[in-house]
Amino acid sequence: MIPLLYVMIDEAGGSGLICPINVYKASDAFRKYLDRAGLTRPDLRQRTRMHIPLTMHGLRATGAT
C-alpha cells in the first residue's frame, strides 16, 4: 500500500490532492461509465418497489460480501 501512495503523491506533483475526485459528481461519472460499457438496462437505474439503482457504493458493498 505504501508504494502506491508514493506513486500517487509523485503523480500529484508532491502536493495537493492525491485522488482528486469530486464526490458530488462521482455518480454522474459512474452512469457515463455504465453507458460506455453498454450496461443500459432500465432495471439498473430505476427506483421502484422491486428495484434499487446500481451505484458505486452498492458495488463496493456487494464486493465486500
Is this prediction's pTM over 0.75? no
> Residue-wise over 14-28: b if at least 16 C-beta within 10 A, else e?
eeeeeeeeeeeeeee
Residue type, 30: F
- On average, the pLDDT of the chain sits at 81
Q: What distance in Å separates the CA atoms of residue 27 and residue 30, rounded to the nearest whole number?
A: 5
24: cell is: 458530488
Q: What is the pLDDT of residue 65?
A: 65
Phi, psi of 6 (to 5 degrees): -60, -40
* pLDDT over threshold 70, residue 46: yes
